[in-house]
Amino acid sequence: MNTFFTRRGALALCAVSLMAAFSPVLHAQDFPSKPIKFIVPFGPGSGTDTSARYYSKKLQEVTGQPVVVENRPGGNGFIAVKQALSAPADGYTVFIGSNSTLAVNTALFKALPYDPQKDFAPLTMLMRAPAVVVAPGDGEVKTLRELVAKAQAAPGKVNFGAGSAGYQLMGELLNDVAKVQTVHVPFKGAGEVATAVAGHTVDYAFAEATSVQELIKAGRLRGLAVASDARVPALPQVPTAKEAGLPGIEAYTWVGAMVSSKTPPDIAAKLATWFTQIASLPETQQFYAHLGATAMSGGPEQMRRFQADEIALWKRIAAQAKIELQ
């Protein structure tokens, strides 16, 4: 009798072990079996939101499951990050983050309520776009030189809008390079900033090319310079900062997909494969080129290295600009 129960116990233990060994594989094979949610730290109209909505459509085509985009703007991205990290780490919640939430915040805050490298597992980069310095389309400032001259003539009187920490740091970069003192005015997102600039609420702003090119073409905003080493094909009339007389101003916005670092590796790997496949589609390349951006891919490891380089870069720029940490 004892031998019988011993053998049965051993068989049961073996079965449990086998289930544990194969359950991740089965889990990955079954994924996804319900809707996937994208958490976006900015409102509609931002480049991050544009990327999220494009990829949600493509991922839905690949998986056959609905993919919902949820915008959670405000709080320097902390609101969205908290929601993404407090959700079950099962792959059904994907954080579509930007350079501000995934890199720049580390350069502006003494202590973040999250660690963008340890708390998240990267899937892949989605896109990169140069920032554009914009002013009101019907304003008196028509060139970057004129903006700098205005700021030099009235220290502390010219202000710039920023919908995230990343754009704030870009504004401080201009202050540092041009040796001027302009004042940062915070907003909840890129859409609000564009409206504020067009309505003369603020004097200028750095904005992502993907989010303002139509407003520039319509004349509501004026593109003073592209913060890049080359002009943007979608905005050929806008000079680079160097061409506009201010070399040293280069700043890019970028978007990447992340999941909680607690997500099962097999699930994260499956998502990463889908994201990189979508990024490599000619349709994706064309989509971003039309917006004035560049489609990015490379997978988790490349994004991890890119993110580390960006964190180091913005920390260095923040120190040079002598920004007081929040």
CA-based R_g, the chain, Å: 23
For 112, list phi and psi in degrees, rounded to 5. -85, 150
Give the mean model confidence (pLDDT) for residues 136-160: 97
pTM beyond cutoff 0.85: no
Q: Are 94 and 259 in contact (CB under 8 A)?
A: yes
pLDDT score recorded for residue 28: 67
pLDDT score recorded for residue 234: 85
Cα dist from 218 to 137, 189, 198, 213, whole Å? 9, 21, 11, 9
Tokens describing residue 85: 């990290």
More confident residue, 111 or 24: 111
130-226 shares the fold of 34-128+255-320: yes
pLDDT score recorded for residue 22: 46
220-274 pLDDT, tens digit per residue, is 999 999 998 889 888 999 999 999 999 989 888 899 999 999 999 999 999 999 9
Give the mean model confidence (pLDDT) for residues 141-147: 97
The share of the chain scoring above pLDDT 70, in percent, equals 91
Q: How far is residue 310's CA from residue 17's CA, in Å, rounded to a whole number?
A: 43
pLDDT above 80: residue 153: yes
pLDDT above 60: residue 64: yes
**Angle 161-167-170 from CA coordinates, rounded to 5°:** 105
Give the mean model confidence (pLDDT) for residues 24-38: 81
- For the chain, what is the HEC assignment? CHHHHHHHHHHHHHHHHHHHHHHHHHHHHHCCCCCEEEEECCCCCCHHHHHHHHHHHHHHHHHCCCEEEEECCCHHHHHHHHHHHHCCCCCCEEEEEEHHHHHHHHHHCCCCCCCCCCCEEEEEEEEEEEEEEEEECCCCCCCHHHHHHHHHHCCCCCEEEECCHHHHHHHHHHHHHHCCCCEEEECCCHHHHHHHHHCCCCCEEEEEHHHHHHHHHCCCEEEEEECCCCCCCCCCCCCECCCCCCCCCCCEEEEEEEEECCCCHHHHHHHHHHHHHHHCCHHHHHHHHHHCCEECCCHHHHHHHHHHHHHHHHHHHHHHCCCCCC
Domain 34-128+255-320 has CATH 2.30.130.10: no
The C-alpha torsion from 207 through 213 and 219 to 224, rounded to 10°, is 50
The per-residue b/e assignment along 141-162, b for 16 or more CB within 10 angstroms, e otherwise, is: beebeebbebbeeeeeebbbbb
- For 48-72, what is the HEC assignment? HHHHHHHHHHHHHHHHCCCEEEEEC
Domain ranges of the chain: 34-128+255-320, 130-226
Give the mean model confidence (pLDDT) for residues 91-101: 95
187-223 pLDDT, tens digit per residue, is 988 889 999 999 999 999 999 887 898 999 999 999 9
Give the mean model confidence (pLDDT) for residues 130-152: 97
- Mean pLDDT over all residues of the chain? 89
Q: How far is residue 278's CA from residue 272's CA, in Å, rounded to a whole number?
A: 10
More confident residue, 65 or 165: 65
278-291 pLDDT, tens digit per residue, is 999 999 999 998 88
For domain 130-226, give the CATH superfamily: Periplasmic binding protein-like II (3.40.190.10)
State the maximum Cα–Cα separation within the chain, in Å, rounded to a whole number: 97
